Structure 1
Amino acid sequence: MSLDDQTSAVSDDDAPSELHELAAAHGVLTEYHQFGGGVAHVSDATLVAVLTALGIAATTRQEVSQSLRRARDEEWRAVLPPTVVVRQGEPRDVAVHVSDGASVHVWVELDGAEPEARPHELRRRRDLEQRDVFVPPREVDGRPVGRATFAVPEGLPLGWHTLHALTEGQEWSATLVVTPARLELGDDLEQHQAWGVLAQLYSVRSRTSWGMGDLADLADLAWLTAHQAGADFVAVNPLSAAEPTVPMTPSPYLPTSRRFGNPIYVRVEDILETAYLSAADRSLVEWAADPVRDLDTDAGALDRDAVWEAKKAALEVVHTAPRRAARQAAYEAFVASQGQGLQDFATWCALTEELAGAPWPDELRDPASSAVAAARERLAERIDFYCWLQWVFDEQKHAAQRTALEAGMRLGIMHDLAVGVHPDGADVWALGDVLARGVGVGAPPDMYNQQGQNWSQPPWNPRMLAKAGYAPYRDMLRTALRHAGALRVDHVLGLFRLFWVPDGMRPTEGTYVRYDHDALVGILCLEAHRAGAVVIGEDLGVFEPWVRDYLASRGVLGTSVFWFEKSDGRPTPPEDYRHLTFATVGTHDMPPTAGYLAGEHVDLRDRLGLLTEDPQVLRAQARAERQAAVVALSQRGLVGDSPSEREVVEGLHRYLRRSRAALVGVQLVDAVGERRSQNQPGTDTEYPNWKVPLGDSAGNNVLVEDLFDNARLRSLFAAVASAR
């Protein structure tokens, strides 16, 4: 049935009102506030498509009515909720549903406790006390069902536990997660602002890179900025997995998996076994590197495909090298700790490689199929290779964080978590219906992309994620937080609601789907607490006002961008910035500050045909915005009369250093005077997104070894370091 047919099928008589009620029951918005004012009313066709992606039958009037009746009784059908997420120390009741009049016994098994748990909290089993709450029974599927209310003990330790219920001789279980009421920032960061450098790691090359920046370059960048500038952290783009074959998707925000890393960032020479290669094998590694060595000084667009083909050939040689007993044991322990998730990811990589771009046969689309089981045996050696790549990636990620902390950084490396994954990637293959199909995550129109956006990333299915006990989400967070001093969560508003765009529709035809933010934010705080990391949420864009207050109450920092922070149409005074925020002048989706001051954000979008307003009007607004910024800086003595571009850039960063923000970031492109954008939202092949190497104001390459020879960088870092 076509979408038009679906729409007409649900549009008879009173069906639209039932359709809206069904949508509301599953957290699908039937209208939402648009950027700049006004309300967008969601079409029935969109509601049908989104409900279908959620696994809710809604293509006919009869299906809508049946699904609505089922939704009204859904929680009464299960003895226990699929997952219970609570805040430590706060009261929480759990509704347990049994045959009316039947007795039930409920308890929790503590599957693990945090090290700081008190002795009495470490008892493995805790019974739940039933509360005297009367709820009338309900007839569900032809049988009377009663509800018993139990209180979750307030003293449970943080962690992942199991809730049990025994009734009528049958035992049921569900996941119980105890999360921190608040993720504490720590006295040092509460009292003393930290500052650091933001870098797109792939663009930051050295003379020993293989054509693009890697984890060894990250370690060097951290050491240099800590020792020579006093920086507290280095923030990088997502280092998540891409395709194991070429062509490789350039965008770090469209990974094939958010749980695993991209081995293109591995420095081959830093793998211990490389030092023990035979002369013949060492020659193979050198020959593999030869075609890409000169790319380090090439000012053109980065060539990921060439880099990966070279590195992959070299890594295959190193993989065959024998490992000492302790190294082999460490590798085996890593593989065991990552469990089935790593095996599935490595299997997907091996199958993708074997298929070489051909369509996937139906029998290989299910990881649990007999065909995939046979493939796992046939491709065992390649699967081991892809598991090993994750181990060496993890080792070098760890080395970068250790180097940063030993150099004196307070946080070290700040990693980045993308909002979603590639629709044909490993996570989509491995996670099944936990990710919704037939829709992509995007954004409605806003001031920077007036046509809206569809990022083509399948979102979490909130119903199925809860049924899975949030395990896929937890496992992803644990990997992202490994060896991280901080984690930036891209589009953190997606933990509250995501904008779903049905396949075949324009971004303007999408709508929002709500998530259980208490669960998602709570689990994020729990895993960050366990990792000892700070969490920053990128809370830009269209959002409901209470969201920022909620995140702050949980200890999650927000994001403040100078150009977006306005009070009465003028730049927000630094003393009025939020304390729990990560403040920067710009973002990676905007030109560097030098380019922005010149109005490049308008010129570029005009050239690419992305504007729906008069370019001259937007250019005038950009000039007025720049002038307002200069006035704000001048009033505080941060620039003089007729300041130069460099003086304005430094003044903007000193302005942020005077703010209440807990963290302040300096983009490396601003430090060296770069003017080119790394990414232009809303484009694909029209602009070399995520391929621009680090360069100065003239477009000349700037390598890691030469950073502190750059006078502009030294001047900006000195201004930032001395501003407090």
Structure 2
Amino acid sequence: MDRVRLAGLYGVDVTYSPGPGQEVPVAEETVVAVLAALGVDASTGGAVREALAAHEARAARVLLPPCTVVRGGRGSLASALRGRVPEGTRLGVETERGAALDLERESPPPPGQYVLRATAADGRTARGELIVAPGRLGGPPGRAFGFLAQLYSTLSGRSWGMGDLGDLADLAAWSGRALGAGFVQINPLHAAVPGRPTDPSPYRPSSRRFPDPVYLRIEQVPEYAYLAGSARERAAELEAKAAELRDGVLHKDALIDRDAVWALKAEALELLRQVPLSPGRRAAYVDFLAEQGQALDDHATWSMLAELHGPDWHDWPEGLRDPRSAQVARARGAHMDRVDFHCWLSWLTDGQLAAAQTAARDAGMTVGVVHDLAVGVHPGGSDAWSMQSVLASGMSIGAPPDAFNSRGQDWGLPPWRPDALAAAGYAPYRDLIARMLRNAGGLRMDHVMGLFRLWWVPQGRPPTDGAYVRYDAEAMLGLLALEAHRAGAVVIGEDLGTVEPGVREELVDRGILGTSVLWFERNYVGTAAAEDGTGARREKPGDGRPLPPEAWRESCLATATTHDLPSTAARLTGEHVELRHRLGLLTRPLDQEQAADAAEVAEWIALLGRLGLLPEGTADEEAVVKAVHRFLARTPARMLGVWLPDTVGDRRPQNLPGTWDQYPNWRLPVADPDGTPLTLEQLAASPRLHGLVDDVRQALAEAAADRGVHP
């Protein structure tokens, strides 16, 4: 029991639920391993008792934590802080300029950062940071539709073999001005781990704090216009090679070759590096360096060291594995030009990201570019090297066994240490969120449930031998909300899969949107809620049928599919089942899978027919895709996401979970139904795309009229 109590003090759950009404104990050795990753020895009874005593002694000494997060709009500061400090402690709150605030006033001060001072009864004093988070984010203005796109797959006739930031700006400007779209949501643009081949997954990056320069539009770097002599001639040769690479990608069944794209861009950037910056550009670069500080210096240093010693810092000479070591400082000094080169790449990329968001807002988009934050980072990459103190060594995040995956999942990403985050005043997490929102109108949080708890898997063990570790959701959500409030951005949580009770309700209360995907929205037993006339909520049995549009939640982004799921055309035709059969991914015989899939699709088509969205007997694929999106427009969802490949009938998923080299994940350009890739210019001229968007806009207008509101 002592070990259970110790685990509870550190937020480690000793049981988990793989399904309703089920509870499975976590193996004792797993609990011991997880606690060890948190710096706690629980290997013996004596060690557990010592750890409990040490925890109690530390708690008694702490007067104020480094950072206290409270929520605005919930009473006075005094009430918000009650129970967070020892009894009898006198508190004072000041602005950052030193002006005292009244703790007892009816509501907390505006969202922001404040200074919290405490004086204990025994005379001890402490100073900490106080964060007042907004009571609730406002969400997007009105309802909006927009495209969900994988930027690498959306290449134009001007890009160098994969979609880039010039294409993003163009996609936003065109869809905002010509189609009335309110946003463009894209894949994570995080810096990748270099290598040959480079891991193409945008969800396993080297750094989440800095973008990948592979997305740069080379010709839009201002210095490009001033290349001269042999450098200009070589740049022309690289442009020609890029055109050949792009033309090759646009053939049927061709794949995006990220490494080939980067090889060309890297050489071009080396040429551009030799062009002196103008005085104004130089001043802007110096300001950028000062603003980005140690984080950028660390990332650029890691990038330099990776060029010399390989992309996994665990394999570097021992003295280079500590970012604060004397050896690292010497290496940085000896190779300062390469460090500066990587800083310069970040500056260029940041500028083009800003230009894309400006293009989106200038086009009339109410939100603009919605960036995607991956749930973690590669264990050998830049962030894992520079932030070792706040990441759990020897642990990986994933998912426990459930009804859909009896073996669980291991994503190979080290988790935040909740204790270390708290001790650091959440500075690494806050910095990450602020950087992601720097050039964004919105932020999608991959696996948003990770702000509440994450499934930790000890290294070398199967994902079934994991345990949930809890985080301070009040702090994590509060800091996220504050940064979004400051940026004027919306937040969308990816809350698909196993979601702990209460999580979605908390997100709604915070003004954070969820994600609702058509095929998952069913009235399952035990999940439907109804009012009982007294204002209280009670559960009622569901029938498992497709959820009608009026029963969908309002606080969400509604879509037909995502990057991890079949396209709508593939779903309607059953081609996704055949694909998984060819790759050996089915858990049942093919005929059973096909029958179940056909029955599921038939239920949705029947509902579309009953709602008058699809004429009876209609089997035309394009008509059904339109009906699906008219259905989404009838839901109360605040945002409607149109998967860009759906607009042209693309059959292929961008990512097929459970595969690695068996399927070309993250390497497919958007294509027509036959698999022939389409450029952004061809997408913009597609009658099928325009027909679908016209239907979406009309359906949104009709839904607004029915509700008596402006669209």
Query: Normalising to structure 2: TM-score of the pair?
Result: 0.90
Match for residue 183 of structure 1 among 137, 148, 151: 137
Is there any run of 5+ residues in structure 2 with no aligned partner, and where? 524-542, 701-711
Cα distance change, pair 361–623 in 1 and its aligned pair in 2 (3 A) = same
Q: Which moved more, 1:643-652 or 1:598-607?
A: 598-607
CA distance in structure 1 between the aligned counterparts of 2:331 and 2:455, rounded to whole angstroms: 37
CA distance in structure 2 between the aligned counterparts of 1:614 and 1:445, rounded to whole angstroms: 22
Q: CA deviation at 1:541?
A: 1.0
Correspondence for 1:252: 202
Correspondence for 1:217: 167
CA distance in structure 2 between the aligned counterparts of 1:96 and 1:592, rounded to whole angstroms: 49
Correspondence for 2:35: 51
- Do the aligned partners of 1:76 and 1:97 also contact (CA within 8 Å) in 2? no
CA distance in structure 1 between the aligned counterparts of 2:316 and 2:107, rounded to whole angstroms: 50
Cα distance change, pair 42–607 in 1 and its aligned pair in 2 (3 A) = farther
Correspondence for 1:704: 680
Correspondence for 1:353: 307
Correspondence for 1:689: 665
Match for residue 655 of structure 1 among 631, 646, 658: 631
CA distance in structure 2 between the aligned counterparts of 1:699 and 1:558, rounded to whole angstroms: 32
Q: CA deviation at 1:104?
A: 6.7
- Do the aligned partners of 1:449 and 1:681 also contact (CA within 8 Å) in 2? no
Correspondence for 1:511: 467
CA distance in structure 1 between the aligned counterparts of 2:408 and 2:586, rounded to whole angstroms: 11
Query: Normalising to structure 1: TM-score of the pair?
Result: 0.88
3-state DSSP of counterpart to 2:81 = strand
Is there any run of 5+ residues in structure 1 with no aligned partner, and where? 1-16, 112-122, 130-150
- The Cα RMSD (Å) is 2.2
- Do the aligned partners of 1:128 and 1:153 also contact (CA within 8 Å) in 2? no
3-state DSSP of counterpart to 2:132 = strand
Q: What code does the residue aligned with 2:422 have? A: A
Please say if 1:160 is aligned against 2:113.
Answer: yes
| CA deviation profile, 1:226-261 (whole Å, cap 9, x unmatched) | 233221111100001112454322000111111110
Match for residue 83 of structure 1 among 46, 67, 75: 67
| CA deviation profile, 1:482-517 (whole Å, cap 9, x unmatched) | 121111111111101111111111122222111111
Please say if 1:599 is aligned against 2:555.
Answer: no
Q: CA deviation at 1:152?
A: 10
The within-5 A match list for 1:23-42 is 23-35=7-19, 38-42=22-26
Correspondence for 2:431: 475
CA distance in structure 1 between the aligned counterparts of 2:366 and 2:85, rounded to whole angstroms: 49
- Do the aligned partners of 2:165 and 2:217 also contact (CA within 8 Å) in 1? yes
Q: What code does the residue aligned with 1:321 have? A: V
3-state DSSP of counterpart to 2:46 = helix
Please say if 1:262 is aligned against 2:212.
Answer: yes
CA distance in structure 2 between the aligned counterparts of 1:261 and 1:631, rounded to whole angstroms: 45
CA distance in structure 2 between the aligned counterparts of 1:127 and 1:494, rounded to whole angstroms: 34
| CA deviation profile, 1:255-291 (whole Å, cap 9, x unmatched) | 1111110110010110111111223222232333443
The within-5 A match list for 1:484-633 is 484-567=440-523, 568-633=543-608
CA distance in structure 1 between the aligned counterparts of 2:585 and 2:401, rounded to whole angstroms: 11
CA distance in structure 2 between the aligned counterparts of 1:701 and 1:104, rounded to whole angstroms: 66
| CA deviation profile, 1:93-134 (whole Å, cap 9, x unmatched) | 256878x9xx976433423xxxxxxxxxxx6242787xxxxx
Cα distance change, pair 304–625 in 1 and its aligned pair in 2 (3 A) = same
- Do the aligned partners of 2:108 and 2:132 also contact (CA within 8 Å) in 1? no
Q: CA deviation at 1:564?
A: 0.5
3-state DSSP of counterpart to 1:92 = helix
Aligned residue pairs total 669
Cα distance change, pair 227–125 in 1 and its aligned pair in 2 (3 A) = closer
- Do the aligned partners of 1:289 and 1:311 also contact (CA within 8 Å) in 2? no
Match for residue 92 of structure 1 among 80, 84, 96: 80
Please say if 1:452 is aligned against 2:408.
Answer: yes
3-state DSSP of counterpart to 2:377 = coil
3-state DSSP of counterpart to 1:454 = strand
Correspondence for 1:132: none
Q: What code does the residue aligned with 2:274 have? A: T
Q: Which moved more, 1:66-75 or 1:82-91?
A: 66-75
Correspondence for 1:142: none
Q: CA deviation at 1:431?
A: 1.0
Correspondence for 2:245: 295
Cα distance change, pair 549–95 in 1 and its aligned pair in 2 (3 A) = closer
Please say if 1:22 is aligned against 2:6.
Answer: yes
Cα distance change, pair 682–450 in 1 and its aligned pair in 2 (3 A) = farther
CA distance in structure 1 between the aligned counterparts of 2:72 and 2:150, rounded to whole angstroms: 37
CA distance in structure 2 between the aligned counterparts of 1:525 and 1:224, rounded to whole angstroms: 30
| CA deviation profile, 1:292-338 (whole Å, cap 9, x unmatched) | 32232324221111111111111122122111111111111111111
CA distance in structure 2 between the aligned counterparts of 1:572 and 1:238, rounded to whole angstroms: 30
| CA deviation profile, 1:185-218 (whole Å, cap 9, x unmatched) | 26x32xxx20000100001111111110000011
Correspondence for 1:239: 189
CA distance in structure 2 between the aligned counterparts of 1:465 and 1:482, rounded to whole angstroms: 22
- Do the aligned partners of 2:649 and 2:672 also contact (CA within 8 Å) in 1? yes
Q: Which moved more, 1:467-476 or 1:290-299?
A: 290-299
Correspondence for 1:64: 48
CA distance in structure 1 between the aligned counterparts of 2:651 and 2:442, rounded to whole angstroms: 28
Q: What code does the residue aligned with 2:46 have? A: Q
Q: What code does the residue aligned with 1:155 have? A: P
CA distance in structure 2 between the aligned counterparts of 1:618 and 1:560, rounded to whole angstroms: 24
3-state DSSP of counterpart to 2:387 = helix
CA distance in structure 2 between the aligned counterparts of 1:472 and 1:290, rounded to whole angstroms: 43
The within-5 A match list for 1:373-452 is 373-446=329-402, 449-452=405-408
Match for residue 108 of structure 1 among 86, 89, 93: 93
Q: CA deviation at 1:598?
A: 2.6
3-state DSSP of counterpart to 1:722 = helix
Correspondence for 1:642: 618
Match for residue 342 of structure 1 among 296, 307, 316: 296
Cα distance change, pair 678–382 in 1 and its aligned pair in 2 (3 A) = same
Q: What code does the residue aligned with 1:216 have? A: G
Q: What code does the residue aligned with 1:582 have? A: L
The alignment-based identity, stated in percent, is 47
